[in-house]
Amino acid sequence: MRNYDLEFLKRFSMVIGLLALVTLGLILLAIYLHGRLPPEVSPTAASRTAARIHPAGAVYAGDTGAAAQAAAAAAAVAKASSQVAYGGTTDGAVIYQNLCGACHTSGVGNAPTLDHAHWDARLAQGADTLHKHAIEGFTGPSGGIMPPKGGNPALTDEQVKATVDWMLANLK
């Protein structure tokens, strides 16, 4: 090799080595700076994670367990009752269109549609019985199933009664 070729290779090697050192230095600086930054955590991320991994049930044993179970049931009822459905409206038409109509329009689950043929026998039982069945739920002799409060526990008893009364007033 010629002398100027050797000089070129030496200088080229030095430039490549210098660039490798600068690159390595920048990588180490980035790792150091990244380690010093606090992790960005959404304020609600911890609560969402806790809710997602919360156990679905619990084991209760003995008298203490029975008291804890009763307290848990009371808390669940209080939570459900604090969330009033449909803004608390007692307009039976609104509740029927949003909830009840899904079954009572098409007759799903042997639900009576809004015609006298399905309701005359039920009307003979009285409005109080119909209100009770709508609030507490009912399984009829023909296999018809009415879930408690139409399947929406956030409905108040007054909302259910208003909806039943609206349905009875709109029979065809």
On the question of pLDDT at 68 being above 90, the answer is no
Give the residues across from 146 on adjacent strands.
Answer: 138
CB-CB contact of 92 with 165 (8 Å) = yes
Q: Determine whether 153 is exposed, middle or buried from the number of CB atoms within 10 Å of its CB (0-12, 13-18, 19+).
A: middle
Summarised one tens digit per residue, pLDDT across range 109-142 is: 888 888 888 878 888 888 888 888 888 888 888 7
CA 123/CA 116 separation, integer angstroms = 9
Say what the pLDDT of residue 32 is.
94
Classified by CATH at the fold level, domain 85-169 comes out as Cytochrome Bc1 Complex; Chain D, domain 2 (1.10.760)
Summarised one tens digit per residue, pLDDT across range 20-61 is: 999 999 999 999 998 888 777 777 877 888 888 877 776 667
User: Structure pTM?
Assistant: 0.51
